[in-house]
Amino acid sequence: MNEPNDRNIFECIAERVLFIRGVGGNLGTKVTIRIGKPYTIDNGRNSACPVEIEGLIGRTRDIVGIDPIDALHSAIKFTDAFLSELSLSKVLRWPDGEQYEAT
């Protein structure tokens, strides 16, 4: 695995779409979370995983781990923590309108 040439372009391997509750029953702001394919860094000694939270903070710094599985796991934990924190002040909904329960 090699580092991507353009930091903002990555192969997405998982995506979640949520909405921040709008006014009057409107779903509101669309938030798309994308997690990319992990890649090796530091001459193969570590790995990193791209993350994007479109609609809020955009592309984040790549999440680093000791290997691809650790980087992917840490990226998922990062997005879960971000959504949990966001849900303290905002109502998040799935595309069908059902409330999203952050873990």
Measured between alpha carbons, how far is 43 from 17 in angstroms, rounded to an integer? Answer: 34
Find out whether 47 and 40 touch, Cβ atoms under 8 Å: yes
Q: Which two tokens stand for residue 93?
A: 């909904």
Split at pLDDT 50, 70, 90, the class of 4 is very low
Is residue 6 over pLDDT 60? no
Measured between alpha carbons, how far is 33 from 43 in angstroms, rounded to an integer? Answer: 28
What's the pLDDT score for residue 49? Answer: 97
What's the pLDDT score for residue 19? Answer: 95
Q: What are the residues whose beta carbons fall under 8 Å from the beta carbon of 33, sequence distance 6 or more?
A: 15, 16, 17, 18, 51, 52, 53, 54, 79, 83
Using CB atoms within 10 Å of the CB of residue 96, give its burial: 0 to 12 exposed, 13 to 18 middle, 19+ buried.
Answer: exposed
Is residue 82 over pLDDT 60? yes
What's the pLDDT score for residue 38? Answer: 97
Residues 36-59 pLDDT 10s: 999 999 998 999 999 999 999 999
Is residue 2 over pLDDT 60? no
